[in-house]
């Protein structure tokens, strides 16, 4: 039953840096799309640059090892040194489970989830949402499971274990 794997589809992180260096880069950067408070730079990864605040959100990261690659790519293009520690804001992942002919309503009515808030109302949203301090799992009747809101890989592992728990209850 432990063989469920949540496949990471996107990691959203943030780096901080000297805001003056960012301002200098903004004045010379011709490859970013500019908006009023931020700019978007699409390279291997997508960088959302908040010029005056001195931080950069990065998306389109598929695995943990790519976090360092994203930092190096931005530093190479911008000639700005980013602080070495990235903050993970959100890890998106997904998997598919076999619901064994059980409905989402059955799961909602019959499985007790400790330390979690469970939402199920098909007139508002087609999935069963299980929210905890580790993030949110959304389960659809097709068996597709989406995980979002984890800010660490250990939190993602806790959500994976929750999927295993659900399968054991079916």
Structural domains of the chain, ranges and CATH numbers in brackets: 18-82 (3.30.310.10), 91-169 (3.30.310.10)
**What is the pLDDT of the chain when averaged over all its residues?**
92
Tens-place pLDDT, residues 73-83: 999 999 888 98
pLDDT score of 47 more than 60: yes
- Residue 2 is predicted with a pLDDT of 63
**CB of 130 closer than 8 Å to CB of 116:** yes
pLDDT score of 8 more than 70: yes
**CB of 159 closer than 8 Å to CB of 4:** no
Nearest C-alpha neighbor of 141 from the set 126, 156, 154, 153: 126
Query: Quick one: average pLDDT of 62-69?
Result: 94
Distance of CA 153 to CAs 11, 65, 74, 156, Å?
Answer: 10, 12, 23, 5
- Residue 95 is predicted with a pLDDT of 95
pLDDT score of 58 more than 90: yes
């Amino acid at each position: 039953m432990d063989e469920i794997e949540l496949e990471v589809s996107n990691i959203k992180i943030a780096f901080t840096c000297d805001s003056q260096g960012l301002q200098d880069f903004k004045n010379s950067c011709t490859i970013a799309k500019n908006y009023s408070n931020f700019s978007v730079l699409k390279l291997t990864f997508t960088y959302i640059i908040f010029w005056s605040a001195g931080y950069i959100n990065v998306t389109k990261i598929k695995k943990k090892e790519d976090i360092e690659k994203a930092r190096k790519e931005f530093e190479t293009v911008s000639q700005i040194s980013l602080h070495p520690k990235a903050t993970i804001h959100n890890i998106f992942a997904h998997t598919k489970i076999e619901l064994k002919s059980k409905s989402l309503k059955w799961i909602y009515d019959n499985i007790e989830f400790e330390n979690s808030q469970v939402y199920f109302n098909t007139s508002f949203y087609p999935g069963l949402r299980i929210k905890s301090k580790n993030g949110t799992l959304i389960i659809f009747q097709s068996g597709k499971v989406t995980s979002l809101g984890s800010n660490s890989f250990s939190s993602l592992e806790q959500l994976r274990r929750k999927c295993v728990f659900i399968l054991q209850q079916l």
